[in-house]
Chains A and B, each alone.
Chain A
Amino acid sequence: MLIRGVLMHHLVKDLLAGNRRAAARLITLIENDDEEKRSLLKEIYPHTGKAFIIGITGAPGAGKSSLVDRLLQQIRAEGLTAGIIAVDPTSPFSGGAILGDRIRMQDHALDAGVFIRSMGTRGSLGGLSRSTREAIQVLDAFGKDIVIVETVGVGQSEVDIVKTADSTVVILTPAGGDSVQTIKAGIMEIADVFVINKADLPGAERTATEINMMLDMNGEKPWRPPVLPTVSIKGDGVDKLWEALQEHRTFLEDSGKLLDVRRQRVRRELTEQVEYLVKTRIWDEVRDTIELDSLVEKISKRQQDPYSAAGELLAKINFYKGDHGEGG
């Protein structure tokens, strides 16, 4: 199929050859739930698993994008390449979004070693977009050494990002009233590195001290998250942050934790895929063979209960009917 001058079945080959247009098109197709999505992802998967994934989270306006911009300078100076996925909220009312994280990163727009993609959450509540994980896979297969994900920074962003990233950076600010009492529950547990950004503003040291105290109360842990002050608009402290991220990566690798984390991720992916397939299979069958409407009627009239009806329904389904249109 020809989409905008790009042959669909060449897309993955082009991606692997380093074609930026192919990377961009693939992310769109995946994000739009194109019918080819799963077969494209199948083709991409064998080429993933090489990139190191860094998550950046923190309240709106904490300085996530400006910090990513500065981190990019460090990463590029080391001769590494990077892919960025910057997530902004989709309006629940209009379904539209303003994706503005790029504003702070445009100095890297023409760098062939950097690929930046903005995504709207599109109904996902966890601080990432519905397709962030797949977009990471695209950039991973594309050959980027580091993939950075900037979360939305509201809601439960922390929940999703830890499952997705190898290292998670939590950004706090002195001005944000992010003193210990107001820190969102769960934040202390998810950070591999704490950043106190806007350290040029008063109160930064106090915030850092408070976080350090809380971390020390947690007792001995194999990894003690460092608490680092930065001024991301000037770049101060970003070298220390990059060092800390590398130390964390070394810790993950040496302790075998990286394999653990990634194995857990694979387990989750597999479970999700099995559930997806089972669900699709069931509803295909139900649509084809079983009178759902008549069951609804019966249950509504209290001639049957939904519990036994569901059991009967499942008993009629043949799960072993050959391949389920999942060829790639």
Chain B
Amino acid sequence: MDVKAKKIRVLVAKPGLDGHDRGARVVARALRDAGMEVIYTGLHQTPEQVAETALQEDVDVVGLSILSGAHMTLAPKIRHLLNEKDMKDVLFLVGGIIPEEDAEKLIAAGTADQIFTPGDPLDKIIDYINAKFASAE
């Protein structure tokens, strides 16, 4: 392990009211096993908490897990708060049960960089993040 290498830091956040975080925990572990530093903040985070945590932890990636169906309000709100905090270039991912038309809207509006749904293999998320940072370097 190269301890000097810069690590990709990811905030895995669960905004809103839904009370299941098994999915978020599985993703967090997979990202850890892929060599990333994953900050996990637990359930029921407000958009303000998510954005401020992203700032203090200086993450490269914010990944939301939303199963409550509130993605069309929560995701834009958090993106907006991140932009206000000068964190426009944070990679913004949304995961959850998200209908295709919503996913298209979120991406078209510039809210999310990518959407993942429960059917997606974990490797797809890892590869996506790795590719983004490989090309940025």
Residues of chain A having any CB pair with chain B under 8 Å: 4-6, 20-21, 23-25, 27-28, 32-33, 90-100, 102-103, 106, 109-110, 115-118, 120, 122-123, 130
Would you call B105 an interface residue if the criterion is a C-beta within 8 Å of the partner chain's C-beta atoms? no
B32 touches A97 (CB 8 A): yes
A27 touches B58 (CB 8 A): yes
Would you call B1 an interface residue if the criterion is a C-beta within 8 Å of the partner chain's C-beta atoms? yes
Closest 8 pairs (CB-CB, A-B): A123-B3, A96-B32, A103-B42, A24-B58, A95-B1, A32-B6, A109-B49, A95-B35
B52 touches A99 (CB 8 A): no
Q: Given A98-B29, A123-B1 in contact, is the A21-B34 Cβ separation under 8 Å?
A: no
A99 touches B86 (CB 8 A): no
Q: Report chain B residues within 8 Å CB of A95.
A: 1-3, 5, 7, 35
A100–B31 Cα distance when bound, in Å, is 14
In B1-22, which residues have CB < 8 Å from any A CB? 1-7, 9
Contact with A along B44-57 (1 / 0, CB 8 A): 01001100110111
Would you call B28 an interface residue if the criterion is a C-beta within 8 Å of the partner chain's C-beta atoms? yes
B33 touches A24 (CB 8 A): no
Closest CB in chain B relative to A315 CB, distance in Å: 31
Closest CB in chain B relative to A104 CB, distance in Å: 8
A118–B37 Cα distance when bound, in Å, is 10
User: How many CB-defined contacts (below 8 Å) exist between A and B?
Assistant: 102
A106–B54 Cα distance when bound, in Å, is 12
Q: Report chain B residues within 8 Å CB of A21.
A: 55, 85-86
A120 touches B58 (CB 8 A): no
Q: Given A91-B32, A117-B56 in contact, is the A5-B88 Cβ separation under 8 Å?
A: yes
Q: Report chain A residues within 8 Å CB of B133.
A: none
A110 touches B56 (CB 8 A): no
Would you mind naming 9 contact pairs between A and B with Cβ atoms under 8 Å apart?
Answer: A6-B86, A27-B58, A92-B1, A98-B38, A99-B40, A102-B39, A102-B41, A110-B49, A123-B3
A25–B86 Cα distance when bound, in Å, is 12
B41 touches A106 (CB 8 A): yes
B39 touches A106 (CB 8 A): no
In B104-123, which residues have CB < 8 Å from any A CB? none
Would you call B89 an interface residue if the criterion is a C-beta within 8 Å of the partner chain's C-beta atoms? yes
